[in-house]
Amino acid sequence: MKMVKSLILGSAAGLLAMGGAQAADLPVKAKAVEYVKICSLYGAGFYYIPGTDTCIKLGGYLRVDLALNGSDYSPGLTSVPAANNRLTNYYYSRSRSDFTIDTRTATEYGVLRTFADMVFTWTTGAYTGSAPGAYSDTLAGAVGGSSIGGASLGLYHAFIQFAGFTLGRTVSAFDAPWQSYPAGGPDTLPGGSNHVTGVNQATYTAQFGNGVSGTISVQDPTLQDTTNIFNLSYFATGSAANGTQGTNSFGGTRAPDVIGNILVDQAWGLAKLSVVGHNNHVSYYGTSESTGHPDDKWGFAVQGALSIKNIPTGAGDVINLQAVYTDGASRYNFQSLMPTSFAMYGGTGLAGAYQSIGLAAVADATYSGVTAATGTQLETVKTWGFRGGYTHNWNPNWASAIYGAYGQLKYGSAGSATICTNMVTLLALTGTCNPDFNFAVIGVNTVWTPVKGFAFTADVNFTHLDQKFSGTITAPAVLGVAKPAAVYELKDQNAVSVLLRAQRNW
């Protein structure tokens, strides 16, 4: 009986094992494949993220530049590129990869959008005069400065748009749509603002219909929109020989820049009027809190922009124009990619002079004093400027453009008087003293597009610094550009730069 029971149990176990094996061999229904689905709501290149109702588009470009007689892409206006000696590079090269991510989701409040633009760049380094043959590949330094080489990561845009609001980093509501490139050109065109690399902001735009909209915005001025506020009582001879006129004494940011604009964008082109209020806030008269400080003073800027399309010269041809006036907000004319001081060296025919030099400095305001008892209040600096360009399409593969820009800066009467006293006393200026200046650029370019999304560009421009000083100064040695202590003729300066570019957009 025991043997029979074992036999029955063993047989049952075998049958179960066979049944399990056969069940494992049966075909299993495959999970449905989620194919990427095209999203046609927002234009070409968008796809639905699988399993969601959000559309995404990836884009960007790869660019290779060669800039002759200037850094990429600016003529030599200050420091080593403007020294015009054996430290100056004859050319700069840059390779850049740009990557954009654009997502959009339809909601009951309108489209919810996020956008990010990340830039990876390698730029030529530059030599300095601090030691023979010293090579710098650091990332610090202003545009046109001596230390812009090496690899860098940039974040040009990172914003959220929802129900008319834009929150995050992107171009300014003050800007013209073409930024500071009405028809191409270098990064040093005056005549309006430029936030092509983005600025942090909170913005609301109302659409009124028929292409008319209005915008109010607050944006962070700390990096891009604040320039020098000189305390003229701390004039340093070495700094003056580099173009500055005192110690830059702005304090912490106390208020955002407040912007409003009205835009009309229709088939014929567009027109835009922008205004901004900019707070000038300085630190102290002296080196500590006990010395006191000037009161804050608000500046402003007004800008008009006009674009005319469908002109008779050819399909796709366009004229872009803009003009700006600033009072205590100079960065909205001498825009954020320009240097804030100019020290351009050149030759001279004046007997007894070692070389010539052109000096100028951009500022929002000036003041003087080392204590509150002797100090002055802020005096704003006024500027105006314009820029424009015309682009002509010869055919679908070739286009040419001409562009120009002009900016003028004037110091207040008290500031000018103090600057001139410093220049005469500390730099032995002989001749005419006037810290005001004009700055102009004119250029042409041609773009060849052999296939869609791939273009070669050749751009040539001429820059003129019309500084109002004349005569001579006796300057100390400037080791950073290997200039000796000597007599220098004060003279207007010119520069010619060339950009050769290959760019693939995707």
Residue 335: strand, helix, or coil: coil
What are the boundaries of each domain within the chain?
Answer: 34-505
- Between strands 363-367 and 228-231, the pairing is parallel
CB 90 within 8 Å of CB 59: no
CB 60 within 8 Å of CB 506: yes
Q: Give the alpha-carbon dihedral of 421, 423, 426, 431, to 10 degrees.
A: -100
Q: How many CB atoms lie within 10 A of CB 132?
A: 8
Tokens matching residue 58: 């990836």
**pLDDT the model gives residue 31:** 58
- Between strands 70-71 and 110-123, the pairing is unpaired
* Residue 354 to residue 304: CA distance in whole angstroms: 44
377-430 pLDDT per residue, tens: 999 999 999 999 999 999 999 999 999 999 999 999 999 999 999 999 999 999
- Across 34-62, average pLDDT: 92
Q: Which strand (E) or helix (H) includes residue 454?
A: strand 454-467
Tokens matching residue 192: 């309006």
Residue 259: strand, helix, or coil: strand
147-171 pLDDT per residue, tens: 445 788 899 999 999 999 999 999 9
**pLDDT the model gives residue 368:** 96
**pLDDT the model gives residue 124:** 81
Q: How many CA atoms lie within 13 A of 76 on its CB side?
A: 29
**pLDDT the model gives residue 480:** 81
* Residue 268 to residue 150: CA distance in whole angstroms: 44
* Residue 22 to residue 54: CA distance in whole angstroms: 44
DSSP 188-236: T--SB---TT-EEEEEEEEEEETTEEEEEEEE--TTTT--EEEEGGG--
Query: Is residue 20 over pLDDT 70?
Result: no
Residue 481: strand, helix, or coil: helix
* Residue 138 confidence class, pLDDT cut points 50, 70, 90: very low
**pLDDT the model gives residue 125:** 73
Cα 319 off chain centre by: 22
**pLDDT the model gives residue 132:** 52
Backbone angles phi, psi at 211, to 5 degrees: 80, 10
Residue 248: strand, helix, or coil: strand
Residue at token pair 């100056």 = 88
**pLDDT the model gives residue 144:** 36
* Residue 65 confidence class, pLDDT cut points 50, 70, 90: very high
**pLDDT the model gives residue 240:** 78
Query: Is residue 17 over pLDDT 50?
Result: no
200-254 pLDDT per residue, tens: 999 999 999 999 999 999 999 998 999 999 999 998 877 777 888 888 898 999 9
* Residue 299 to residue 296: CA distance in whole angstroms: 10
Query: Is residue 376 over pLDDT 90?
Result: yes
**pLDDT the model gives residue 136:** 46
End-to-end Cα spacing for the chain: 83
* Residue 187 to residue 391: CA distance in whole angstroms: 18
**pLDDT the model gives residue 151:** 80
Query: Do you find a cis peptide bond into 73, omega within 30 degrees of 0?
Result: yes
* Residue 403 to residue 164: CA distance in whole angstroms: 34
* Residue 262 to residue 232: CA distance in whole angstroms: 39
Query: Is residue 439 over pLDDT 50?
Result: yes
Cα 395 off chain centre by: 31
Higher pLDDT among residues 411 and 145, named by residue: 411
Residue at token pair 């682009």 = 391
80-127 pLDDT per residue, tens: 889 999 888 888 899 999 999 999 999 999 999 999 999 999 888 766
* Residue 362 to residue 244: CA distance in whole angstroms: 8
- Across 130-144, average pLDDT: 43
Mean residue pLDDT across the chain: 89
Residue 479: strand, helix, or coil: helix
- Across 271-296, average pLDDT: 96
467-501 pLDDT per residue, tens: 999 999 999 998 888 899 999 999 999 999 999 99
Give the right CATH number for 34-505 from 2.40.160.10, 3.40.30.10, 3.40.50.300, 3.30.300.130. Answer: 2.40.160.10
- Across 50-63, average pLDDT: 96
* Residue 318 confidence class, pLDDT cut points 50, 70, 90: very high
Q: How many CB atoms lie within 10 A of CB 227?
A: 25
**pLDDT the model gives residue 208:** 97
Q: Among candidates 190, 227, 223, which has minimal Cα distance to 380?
A: 227
Q: Give the alpha-carbon dihedral of 182, 381, 408, 240, to 10 degrees.
A: -110
* Residue 321 to residue 309: CA distance in whole angstroms: 12
Query: Is residue 268 over pLDDT 80?
Result: yes
**pLDDT the model gives residue 452:** 95
Q: How many CA atoms lie within 13 A of 165 on its CB side?
A: 9
Backbone angles phi, psi at 75, to 5 degrees: -70, 165
Q: In this prediction, what percent of the chain has a pLDDT beyond 70?
A: 88
Tokens matching residue 416: 């000018």
Query: Is residue 331 over pLDDT 60?
Result: yes
